[in-house]
Structure 1
Amino acid sequence: MPNNTEEAVNASPTDVPCLEKLDSPTGSPPQTASLSNLMDLENCVANLSLAHEIVVNDDFCFKPRSPPKDSLEGRVTEVVHRAFWDTLQEQLSSTPPNYSHALTLLQEVKTMLQSLLLPSHVRLRSQLDEVLDPALIQQEADHGALDLHRLAGYLVSTMASLCAPVRDPEIAALRGLGDPVQLLREIFRILGLMKSDMVNFTVHSLRPHLLQQAVQYERAKFQQILDKQPASLDNTVAWLQAVAQKEASDAETPSTQSRGPLSPATVLNRAYMSLLHWDAQDQNYPETVLMDRARLDALGQRQGALVLEAAVLLLASASCGGAVLALPGLVGKLKQTVAALLEGSHTSESDLRRALLGIGDQVLVQVNEALGARGGRPLPQRSGDVLRRQISELWRHNNPIRTIAGERVQAYLQATLEGGPAKSALEPPATLGPLRAELLQLGTSLGRLVHFNRSVYGPFYAPVLRSLLLPPGEAEAEAEAEAVAGDDSR
């Protein structure tokens, strides 16, 4: 992350990145990277990841670092901290009291409080310098006149005036502590939380400005990575190449020959869609979307769950009739039940089969309850058994009902990407009406990620797509490929 906004602007490259290294011979011997180059590369990746997370994650926040207690670092940290506070307790309990550790701690607390002050806090800064003056405190300690409770009370009052409202209960609890060691320990802990609050407030305040510079900054940082590590685009090239080859092969079938020539925009959209079903064991994930892999995996899991929900509702409608599903509140209850039982079932086939068995039972129970509440008769035993069996068979990827539901959801998401960010949210088809809100949310989340990724990495995609799809000399087609770079004209 840049130290300031000006650095982010100055680091911006031209709109067309330097990609000459992509054409270097694959058989060239690897270059030995120096330690400084490796450290620079690591810093570039760290800054890029942090800036990207701040921009795309609305819930981003810094949290105080706390190593796991069962780790070596956690145990060592606990031992060191306990030793420090035990020593402070011994020093203050001795006769006469030894304030050496306490004086060091008070100056550390003063430094932390000063870091929380704004430029407008001139008077408060002056008071801190006066009350926590090292020479004055040392003099009081030498003459046995140091009053730790008075100083702690001033610190608590100052913290109360600076802290966020969420810290008010913890600040109030400080006033009830009588042991000076425990009081100082809690002051130190809460000050650490207040520093995190201040950082997060600053990030939240700067986020609109970061959004304006994010595309240029991320593109510049990735270009720096590419300059230091020319192979940093290999997986991306292979990703686009595989999708282009598949689309070209599909276009040769009789049913799709009327579509016309394959466009770069189509290939890129299909490439983004392929990320929703990426094999978890495949480590060759495209570099340009690597920072969003966890988000895309989550969206893929959400898509899979919605496909199963749609399939269950289709089966229930076919078995019970549309009039049954039109009963007030029934569809909502079925959706909640299916979503709850499917949670976590994507990890293994056995978990999914077990979840579907439970879903079949619950669907029958809720349908019969809804019918009974309206004075109707429950489903016949045979119809119920058939519905339960059909739902249990949805674990198969080639299940026809699951395939139909999957194609409809896939087509909706594809149409959402093709519509672009400038257009209003695309309405799901009527057959997916019961899942309208969920599909709109999924399409919006996917569209935001794709649009931002296109804006940042479009200039890196354009020459790759040109080389894969476009015959040399076709100016119009080349212009279309370049248009994929920004995606802003949509």
Structure 2
Amino acid sequence: MSSQREDAAGASPADLPSLETLDSPTGSPPAASLSSLMELENCVSNLSLAHEIVVNRDFHFKPPSAATNSLEGRVKDIVYQVFWDSLQEQLSSDPPNYSHALVLLQEVKAMLASLLLPGHVRLRSQLDEVLDMELIQQQVHHGALHLHRLAGFITSTMASLCAPVRDPEVRALRDLKDPVELLREIFRVLGLMKTDMVNFTIQSLRPHLLQQAVQYERLKFQQILDKQPASLDNTDAWLQAAASEETAAFRARRDFPRPDSRGLPRPTAVLNRAYMCLLRWDPRHQNYPETVLMDRARLDDLSRRLHVLVLEASVLLLTSAQFGGVVFSLRGFVAKLRQSVAALLEGSHTREADLKRALLELGGTVLQQVTEALSARGGGGGGLPQESQDLLRGQISDLWKNNNPVRTLIGERVQGFLLATLQGGSPKRSPELPFPLGLVRAELAELGTAFGQIVRFNQTVFGPFYAPILRKLLLPPGEAETAEDSR
């Protein structure tokens, strides 16, 4: 939806389609159907917003703004400019016409009132007294309205209510002499203050929301499920694929099983495998599970970081195998090498061609840094055998392949680390990691902590929805039905 709106916003009037050419039905949709869709959309919107507030500690609203090069932005600018030009004309007439100004003052009063807290009794009384619209109307009638005096009270009130970050903007209002420019800036800054108040309220309510979040999200999702019974189809397929993988893995290690008493894969093992699959999700062939959709952006970001981290560790391992004993002990070499690797690989995860190009450039950069390190150590830049250089450059270039043995090895070790985190281990207290993962331990721990938090919260909220699906997948049909009936 958002991409469609952006496309429409960026189109010129000539680019917009004619409504007559749309193949739309001539009749209106049934009222009951439209009402149900609106209720469902409202339910999804509330659920997504509540989840974002609780999970994302950095969540905050931004002041609404249309892109300046969009159709929406151009229309908004034109309409606003017409209004302010009209106000300028009214105030410049003789005698001044205050009809638009009175509307603005009424709006300003309402915006200031919305910023007041229950304890602002005296300020509320002053606001009603100074911005008494009936009195102001009488002043206009008798030609006794002092607009700058009212603006002075408004800016003083704003100064007492604004967040510290808005102090410079509020102070700047006092230097404006033109009444139109002053009113325009008052409105702009008041809009920012309203956004600040909303964000302050969200931060204040977050501890209370955390206490109620699980029950609230579970209730809202159940309402969605009641209106749209197919809302678990993708989740069902996701868990079914994970159960098949876990069952196959369980049978492969039957000599060393850790099953439940029935000799079946544990539901928690299936869930953990399902969550791990989200870090290597292929959107071209899979539909994302509905129960994890609200965290998809966060999980996609973790997947990107994991991709870079695996490649970074792979490059470190290959470089160490060739020259590690010579240069890895040099002060600052590893940090500089890691910085270069991360910079060149950033953004290379989306397209195969980008990854190939980045790895090709990376091979040359690594060899250059090794050469510089040897020179600084006194070993001379010409001490690198050409055969070793070609071998390392080729090995780094081959890392673009998903089945590359070095990349596969590092990937399995990282996956094992994250799986251990899901199984209850603390990333910060995990045992010493094998080389070269120890060099990226801090990043791994941070990634594991973020992943674990998402998974635990999701499992707590949606556990009751996962349970019947897992029973159906892991128990024989008769036993699954008995377990379901006994609930």
TM superposition shift of 1:387: 1.2
Is residue 111 from structure 1 mapped to residue 116 from structure 2 by the alignment? no
Q: Give the match for residue 444 of structure 1.
A: 449
* Superposed counterparts of 1:315-326, under 5 Å: 315-326=318-329
Distance 1:37 1:371, change over 3 A: same
Is residue 159 from structure 1 mapped to residue 158 from structure 2 by the alignment? yes
CA contact (8 A) 2:62 2:195 kept: yes
CA contact (8 A) 1:428 1:440 kept: no
* Superposed counterparts of 1:12-411, under 5 Å: 34-253=33-252, 255=253, 258-259=256-257, 260=259, 261-282=264-285, 284-378=287-381, 379-411=384-416
Specify the SS of the correspondent of 1:410: helix
TM superposition shift of 1:426: 3.1
Distance 1:107 1:472 in 2: 68
Greater than 6 Å deviation, 4+ residue runs: 472-475
Distance 1:77 1:121, change over 3 A: same
CA contact (8 A) 1:315 1:387 kept: yes
Aligned with residue 414 of structure 1, among 419, 442, 456: 419
Q: Can you give the 5+ residue segments of structure 1 that lack an aligned partner in the other structure?
A: 1-30, 483-490
1:40-80 per-position Cα deviation (integer Å, ceiling 9, x unaligned): 11111000000000011111001122233333332322222
Greater relative contact order (CA < 8 Å, ≥ 6 in sequence): 1
CA contact (8 A) 1:427 1:436 kept: no
Distance 1:424 1:440, change over 3 A: closer
Distance 1:283 1:117, change over 3 A: farther
Distance 2:305 2:430 in 1: 18
CA contact (8 A) 1:420 1:447 kept: no
1:6-34 per-position Cα deviation (integer Å, ceiling 9, x unaligned): xxxxxxxxxxxxxxxxxxxxxxxxx9962
Distance 1:407 1:420 in 2: 17
CA contact (8 A) 1:148 1:180 kept: yes
Distance 2:31 2:362 in 1: 57
Distance 1:420 1:151 in 2: 63
Q: CA RMSD in A?
A: 2.2
CA contact (8 A) 1:251 1:257 kept: no
Specify the SS of the correspondent of 2:68: coil
Distance 1:417 1:191 in 2: 46
Bigger mean CA offset, 452-461 vs 164-173: 164-173
TM superposition shift of 1:381: 3.0
1:44 maps to a residue whose letter is C
1:123-175 per-position Cα deviation (integer Å, ceiling 9, x unaligned): 11111111111012112212222121111121111111111111112112212
Distance 2:449 2:207 in 1: 20
Aligned with residue 456 of structure 1, among 454, 461, 476: 461
Specify the SS of the correspondent of 1:258: coil
CA contact (8 A) 2:428 2:445 kept: no
1:162-194 per-position Cα deviation (integer Å, ceiling 9, x unaligned): 111111121122122111101110100110000
Distance 1:55 1:275 in 2: 21
TM superposition shift of 1:84: 1.0
TM superposition shift of 1:275: 0.7
TM superposition shift of 1:199: 0.6
Distance 2:279 2:57 in 1: 21
1:354 maps to a residue whose letter is R
Under a length normalisation based on structure 1, what TM-score does the superposition of the two structures give?
A: 0.87
2:168 maps to a residue whose letter is P
Distance 1:388 1:76, change over 3 A: same
Q: Give the match for residue 430 of structure 1.
A: 434
CA contact (8 A) 2:242 2:274 kept: yes
Aligned residues: 447
Q: Can you give the 5+ residue segments of structure 2 that lack an aligned partner in the other structure?
A: 1-29
Distance 1:51 1:403 in 2: 39
